[in-house]
Each structure stands twice: as structure tokens, then as C-alpha cells.
């Protein structure tokens, strides 16, 4: 049973560019959440998708947007990249109304130069 799969694993982008990160949730999960983890800090919640809609959003600007597809997979898009967007981006899947907790992928390391 595959867990959460994220792609790509590493990415280098230039300031001002746009980036798309992808996530396939664990089999049986219906909810996808995205987190940003800067060096030395805990993961910060970006947003959560369920039934192809954004349910909740953290304190991130509109440059951060997402999408969930009918197969529950998800994308995170970041526009007009800033140096401060360099971080590990984590995807987590879960059951919206389940008690099974959250399963995380290995993350995408984004470096903005």
C-alpha cells in the first residue's frame, strides 16, 4: 500500500518564476493538506483540500494556490517566487472525519535563487 507520494523531490527556481508541486494521497484518504517547513521550524499549514475544494487556509498570501482532482491527488502552485519561499513543502493526506491521523510524504525541497 503506497503512502503519500510527492514530486519532484528537489527543485531550483529563480525569483519571480512559478512552480507546481504534486501530491498523491495514501490509498483510502480523501483529504490533502499542504505544509511549508522552513529550516529549524515546525511545518506551517498552507491549506487543505477536500472534495476538490479548499476547506481551510493558513496565513499564506494568494500567491499560494492549489487544486484537488477527482482522484484526490493535489497540486500546490506558487506564483512570483520569492527567496523566502525556499523551504521543504510537505503534503499530508487524511480522512476528513476519521481518527487515523495524517500521513506525510517525503516532501519537495524548493530552493529559490
Write out the binding residues for another protein, residues 14-43 only, by CB under 8 A.
33, 35, 41-43
Write out the binding residues for another protein, residues 37-76 only, by CB under 8 A.
41-45, 48, 56, 58
Which of 100-110 are b and which e, b meaning 16 or more Cβ less than 10 Å from the residue's Cβ? Answer: eebebbebbeb
Among 107, 81, 84, which Cα is nearest to 18's?
A: 81
User: Helix H segments across 1-113?
Assistant: none
Q: Which segment (12-20, 62-70, 72-80, 104-112) binds another protein by CB under 8 A?
A: 104-112
Binding another protein by CB under 8 A: which of 13, 22, 67, 109? 109
What distance in Å separates the CA atoms of residue 112 and residue 83, rounded to the nearest whole number? 5
Q: Which segment (13-21, 63-71, 75-83, 84-92) binds another protein by CB under 8 A?
A: 84-92
Size of the site for another protein (CB under 8 A): 27
Amino acid at each position: 500500500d503506497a503512502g503519500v507520494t510527492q514530486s519532484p523531490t528537489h527543485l531550483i527556481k529563480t525569483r519571480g518564476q512559478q512552480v507546481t508541486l504534486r501530491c498523491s494521497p495514501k490509498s483510502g484518504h480523501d483529504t490533502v493538506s499542504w505544509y511549508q517547513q522552513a529550516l529549524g521550524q515546525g511545518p506551517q499549514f498552507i491549506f487543505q483540500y477536500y472534495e476538490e475544494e479548499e476547506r481551510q487556509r493558513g496565513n499564506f498570501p494568494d500567491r499560494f494556490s492549489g487544486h484537488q482532482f477527482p482522484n484526490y491527488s493535489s497540486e500546490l502552485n506558487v506564483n512570483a517566487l520569492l527567496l523566502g519561499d525556499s523551504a521543504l513543502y510537505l503534503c499530508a493526506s487524511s480522512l476528513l472525519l476519521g481518527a487515523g491521523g495524517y500521513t506525510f510524504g517525503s516532501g519537495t525541497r524548493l530552493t529559490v535563487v
